[in-house]
Amino acid sequence: MRAIRRFTVRPVLPEALASLGVLAGNLRWSWHPPTQDVFAAVHPELWESTGRDPVRLLGAVDTGRLDELAHDRGFLDQLEAARSDLDAYLSGEQWYQRRGGDDAPRAIAYFSPEYGITAVLPQYSGGLGILAGDHLKAASDLGVPLVGVGLLYRHGYFKQALSREGWQQETYPVLDPDELPLSLLHEPDGSRAKVRITIDTDAELVARIWVAHVGRIPLLLLDTDVEENPDHFRAVTDRLYGGTSEHRLRQELLLGVGGVRALRAYSRITGAPAPEVFHTNEGHAGFLGLERIRELSAAEGGPGLDFDTALEVSRASTVFTTHTPVPAGIDRFDRELVEQYFGGASPVPGVPVERILGLGAEDYEGGDAGVFNMAVMGFRLAQRANGVSRLHGHVSREMFNGLWSAFDEADVPITSITNGVHAPTWVGREVFELAAGHGADLHRGDDGFWDVVDKVPGEEIWATKRLLRERLVKDARKRLAKSWSKRGLAPAELSWIDSALDPDVLTIGFARRVPSYKRLTLMLSDPERLKRLLLHPERPVQLVIAGKAHPADEGGKRLIQEMVRFADDPEVRHRIAFLPNYDIAMAQPLYPGCDVWLNNPLRPYEACGTSGMKAALNGGLNLSILDGWWDEWYDGSNGWAIPSADGVDDPERRDELEATALYDLIENEVAPRFYDVGPDGVPARWLEMVRHTLKSLGPKVLATRMVRDYVRQLYTPAAVTGRRLNTDWTGAGELAAWKKRVRTGWDGVRVEHVESSGVGDAPQIGTVLTVRAFVSLGELSPDDVDVQLVHGVIDSDDQLVGAATESLSVGESYQGGRHRFDGTVALNRSGAFGYTVRVVPRNDLLASPAELGVIALPG
């Protein structure tokens, strides 16, 4: 019999145990082992059976046990210590308060479509969400005043299972927010706080606001499953990355426009400072810029700025991060659909629809005039933008060069901040305990860990890795048994699982989403050779593999099926396991338990790839194509680089070459080094690489390093510029007018003639080159431009490589807007040298000289 209504009855905790509710309500427990120990002590069996979920645990434990704990002095002392530690963590002075600087923003809003914080809050699908979760956690640890904004998906992302034939099957369990570590935001009168967005003339989209506390960081999650909404609106937040294009558009409208309104409600209700900087994590949240423009230009009671001035105010304090290296990863909507939503009863009334359409237009060579590109809008609505690794920054500048087509790729204003990972979430507890046992002061933060790497005896490192490997094997066996049972096998047919995998065998991990470019099945290119590696009598290898394909990706599902069928082979199934339903709960024993982390994407399509960072922090070695972060930080001794056949056009031939290189590395370098043990049973040369990996990569791959970089390179500059334009709007109006004047007058800017002297026929190091450039500026003045001498090494095609720039100064002015600009440069290196002169706009409120997209060159 089906219930007609569902609700959750919350437990009433004895007063002495009230701190349990406080600890459960802050997600810091998910990365703080002493707090986890408190919940484990409540009821060890229930703690495990509820998936280590404090909210479910407290809802399941009986009142008799609670009364017993309320009189248990030892437990109460443990509880009080954890509560005091949380209070100190939330209120103490951290890096941001000590080192952030006077110009640092008072508050930063961080928008993302997904967040991977803990397995008990399944609001993520892959790397983008995990990165967002780590960003929030690291910001909390550093004391950065961030507030997150996202959506609460009633079904989350899908749960993955396998059919008997190895085909991916998806299910979407319903999530009850009352059973999650969330609380509703309420108005002062006790009513639920809500945001409303006009979608059409007949109805508003209404969303309530849930708050998750991620340490010091509030995360606002919007939920449309409310009674005021008709069914089709209630379903807007049904699932992550599902539904039609129009469904996705509605989700992104809610995230961007509704998210800004949720922030305003949160600040009004709680007194939290209004954000000074807005960070758009990928293009899905790009509509937030339109709402900010509406607030400034068309909102009742607002300053009533014109569109261009409001745009400058909003842009100055907005940061946009792109995560995709492939055009297919960008949300692109039919232009007519966007026009339909914004042209009538608009979600941002008063903002001209033609200006909105222009922001997302692919109005550049090779663009599609019929689509609205969310990433393009993201770049146009943000003054500062970045990719997520050095190589990805380069790829992004090439990908979006059309927005700044007058400039070379190197000058496109997209920088890079390489991603990082949150060590307390991903590093095995035993690794921290090992470091602490040898004097590491973990209270110092990240730096306290690396000081003792060389002090720990090799035997202890090796014993710890063996323990972590054993834990992974046990976890994998449980998951295999559960998966095979769902696939229809009887318990009597599963006895082989008891000996599947081996804690003393070299363990290679591979886990990620399964789009084609990540090449899940590259290792299957030569199945017989792979079998020989797995079954080697002296140096066997075992593989633990996981990954989900998007429900609509039939090709990805076929790759999974191919892998599963190979892993099902009785000859090798004790050496290779495909574990379904890859999530945070699986990842946490997987990364520490692997000796080697494998990554073999099609270069350069891996934007960053942070899974290998997590393995490295646990003493794992990377075996990877030089892509993403590995291209940046591989040094020849902290792992192995799989040679990439970049110049080979035939994809099958390229796969064959790179697979052979992978097999060769495992057979001839990785396995021999792992099994080369001394009389003490320890592989000394292997551990040399482990130590070097921890010291060379450890400080770099941390999310705290990443967030510090965002604060220094993007957030603080955005706050400074934003304040200059936000004070009385005059500066913004002047900037908008200046940009219009420069764009209008740029046709009159020409480099007419360039003269040089001082080098003679045989210049030497130390020779001073003198340059004079005669430039026509038309209606513009010298103050509007920067005339630059661009110089440096040239290649065989006379292209400047790694060029430097020097600003030339006005030497003389003539009639008709003509001027002479002079400058010198000392030749400080030998070899082929070249130079040119260029003219770009100049204004100290620009983040980049390429911002307006105009340039003048000789000829």
The SS3 of residue 460 is: helix
Distance CA 121, CA 110 (A): 18
Residue whose C-alpha is closest to residue 834's, from 810, 858, 809, 851: 858
The dihedrals phi and psi of 253, each to the nearest 5 degrees, come to -65, -45
Cβ contact 472:589 at 8 Å:
yes
CA–CA gap between residue 618 and residue 612 (Å, rounded): 10
Pairing assessment for the beta strands 506-511 and 332-334 based on DSSP bridges = unpaired
Distance separating alpha carbons of residues 204 and 229, to the nearest angstrom: 8
CA 212, chain centre distance (Å): 19
818-833 average pLDDT score: 89
Over residues 584-594, the pLDDT tens digits come to 999 999 999 99
The answer to whether the bond into 604 is cis (omega within 30° of 0) is yes
Retrieve residue 687's tokens.
């551990």
Sheet holding 800-807, edge to edge: 800-807, 785-794, 833-841
Q: Write the DSSP symbol of residue 686.
A: H
Angle at 279 between CA 273 and CA 283, to 5 degrees: 140
Q: How far apart are the first and last CA of the chain?
A: 82
Decide if 120 contacts 156 (C-beta within 8 A).
Answer: no
Q: How far apart are CA 284 and CA 113, in angstroms?
A: 6
Q: Is 379 exposed, middle or buried (0-12, 13-18, 19+ CB in 10 A)?
A: buried
The phi, psi pair for 52, rounded to 5°, reads 55, 45
Q: Say how far apart CA 715 and CA 103 lie, in whole Å.
A: 10
Minimum mean pLDDT range among 309-318, 506-515, 797-806: 797-806
Please state, in angstroms and rounded to a whole number, the distance separating the CA atoms of residues 235 and 222.
Answer: 12
Q: What is the pLDDT of residue 201?
A: 73
- What is each CA distance from 792 to 220, 415, 773, 848, in whole angstroms? 49, 21, 18, 20
Task: Decide if pLDDT at 445 tops 70.
Answer: no
Opening angle at CA 830, ends 828 and 833, nearest 5: 85
Taking alpha carbons only, the member of 327, 468, 344, 342 closest to residue 395 is 327
Identity of the amino acid at 538: E
H helices present in 675-715, as ranges: 684-697, 703-710
Sign of CA dihedral 515, 516, 517, 518: positive
- Highest average pLDDT, of 321-325, 802-806, 839-843, comes from 839-843
DSSP 3-state of 280: strand
> Dihedral (C-alpha) 800, 804, 807, 808: value to the nearest 10 degrees?
-50
Q: Is 516 helix (H, G, I), strand (E, B) or coil?
A: helix
DSSP string, 170-197: EE-PPP-GGGSS-EE-B-TTSSBPEEEE
Residue-wise pLDDT for 18-61, tens only, equals 999 999 999 999 999 999 999 999 999 999 999 999 999 999 99
- Measure the CA–CA gap between 436 and 112, rounded to whole angstroms: 35
Question: How far, in Å, CA of 719 to CA of 668, rounded?
Answer: 53
In this predicted model, what pLDDT tens digit does every residue of 330-354 receive, in sequence order? 999 999 999 999 998 899 999 999 9
3-state secondary structure 117-133: CCCCCCECCCHHHHHHH
Is residue 208's pLDDT more than 70? yes
Tally Cβ neighbours within 10 Å of residue 636.
Answer: 8
Contact in structure between 206 and 196 (CB atoms under 8 Å): yes
On whether the CB atoms of residues 544 and 579 are closer than 8 A, the answer is: yes
CA distance 515 to 526: 21
- As a whole number, the mean pLDDT across the chain is 94
Q: Which of 602-605's residues contact partners 24+ apart within 8 Å by CB, and which partners? A: 602/516, 602/517, 602/518, 602/519, 602/654, 603/627, 603/631, 603/644, 603/646, 604/325, 604/391, 604/392, 604/394, 604/395, 604/631, 605/325, 605/326, 605/517, 605/518
What DSSP line would sit under 777-845, residue for residue?
Answer: -TT--GGGEEEEEEEEEE-TTS-EEEEEEEE-EEEEE-GGGEEEEEEEEE--S-S-EEEEEEEEE--TT
Token digits of residue 455: 């002090």
Residue type for 269, please? I
Task: Count Cα neighbours of 41 within 13 Å in the Cβ-side half-sphere.
Answer: 20
Confidence category of residue 829, pLDDT binned at 50, 70, 90: confident
Which value, in Å, is the radius of gyration of the alpha carbons in the chain? Answer: 29
Phi first, then psi, for residue 378 (nearest 5°) are -60, -45
Mean pLDDT of 189-196: 97
Longest dimension (CA), the chain: 96
d(CA 413, CA 404): 8
Q: Are 594 and 545 in contact (CB under 8 A)?
A: no
Q: Alpha carbon 846 to chain centroid distance?
A: 26
Q: What is the pLDDT of residues 96-144, one digit of tens each?
A: 999 999 999 999 999 999 999 999 999 999 899 999 999 999 999 999 9
Residue 421's pLDDT band (cuts 50, 70, 90): very high
For the beta carbon of residue 668, count every other beta carbon within 10 angstroms: 10
Query: What SS3 state is found at 330?
Result: coil
> Do residues 407 and 622 make contact, with C-beta atoms less than 8 angstroms apart?
no
Residue type, 418: T
For residue 840, CA distances in Å to 181, 348, 401, 589, 790 come to 52, 35, 17, 53, 12
Residues 183-204, mean pLDDT to the nearest whole number = 92
Range scoring the smallest mean pLDDT among 274-288, 300-314, 422-436, 784-798: 784-798
Say how far apart CA 390 and CA 367 lie, in whole Å: 25
Distance CA 350, CA 82 (A): 51
Q: Look at residues 681, 642, 96, 604 and name the one whose alpha carbon lies nearest to residue 391.
A: 604
Kindly report, residue by residue over 683-696, the tens digit of the pLDDT: 999 999 999 999 99
pLDDT reported for residue 718: 98
Residue 12, token pair as written in the block: 């009433």
Tokens of 83: 């509560």
Are the beta carbons of 823 and 775 closer than 8 angstroms?
A: no
Lowest-pLDDT range, 148-152, 178-182, 475-479?
178-182
Query: Once rounded to an integer, what is the mean pLDDT over residues 273-301?
Result: 96
With cut-offs at 50, 70 and 90, classify the pLDDT of residue 1: low
Query: Length of the chain, please?
Result: 859
pLDDT digits over 621-638, tens only? 999 999 999 999 999 999
